Amino acid sequence: MTRDEFERNRRRFGDTVEAWPAPFRQQARNLMAAEQKDDPDAALDRLVLEAALTDGDDQELASKVLARIAAGSARPYLLPRLFLSPAGFAACAAAALVAATLAGYQVARLQDDPSDTELLALASGSAVADGGGVAADPEGEGSL
């Protein structure tokens, strides 16, 4: 049966294929099955229709789904969700950068380089003390 023959029979016998005479009905079903095989939307519609017609306990299915959700949410995470989100990761990285910068300044302050002190004393015209610091000049000698 071709598509034109199907349309002629539809006008002749009606829109319901099941009401057609037996030979035409079988040919029409074969034509519709061949057309549905090529159409992915029709295949999806057929699957949904088959799933709707299957007998099943909706309450049992819903309880299984809820149990699966509850089991999945009870699993502990190794990392908190804050670290997994991009904004949380950026905030943690910024905090680590600030902490590293402050630690660097503290270490640099503790490691006072004596050569810097000596250069400062030389530039100001003061004498360098034995401990590496600038000696006090009570008389004001050597000052500009």
- pLDDT tens digits along 59-103: 877 787 788 777 766 555 656 666 677 888 888 889 999 999 999
Say what the pTM is: 0.29
Residue 142: inside a domain: no
* Tally of domains in the chain: 2
* Contact status, residue 22 vs residue 29, Cβ threshold 8 Å: no
Q: Is the pLDDT of residue 138 over 60?
A: no
Residue 100 lies in a domain: yes
- Listing DSSP states for 25-73 in one string gives HHHHHHHHHHHHHH-HHHHHHHHHHHHHHS---HHHHHHHHHHHHHHHH
**Residue 106 domain-assigned (yes or no):** yes
Does residue 126 surpass a pLDDT of 70? yes
Q: Compute and round to an integer the Cα radius of gyration of the chain.
A: 44
Q: Return the structure tokens found at 69.
A: 């959700």
Beta bridge partners of 73: none
- Structure tokens, 130: 């034995």
Confidence of residue 30 (pLDDT cuts 50, 70, 90): confident
Q: Is residue 126 part of a domain?
A: no
- Residue 59 is part of which domain span? 3-73
Residue 140 within any structural domain of the chain: no
Number of other residues whose CB lies within 10 A of the CB of residue 100: 10
Q: Kindly report the length of the chain.
A: 144
- pLDDT value of residue 131: 57
Residue 10 lies in a domain: yes
44 and 20, same structural domain? yes
pLDDT of residue 142: 52
What one-character DSSP code corresponds to residue 2?
Answer: -
- Return mean pLDDT, the chain: 76
pLDDT of residue 79: 61
State mean pLDDT over 45-71.
Answer: 74
* pLDDT band at residue 36 using 50, 70 and 90 as cut-offs: low
pLDDT of residue 99: 95
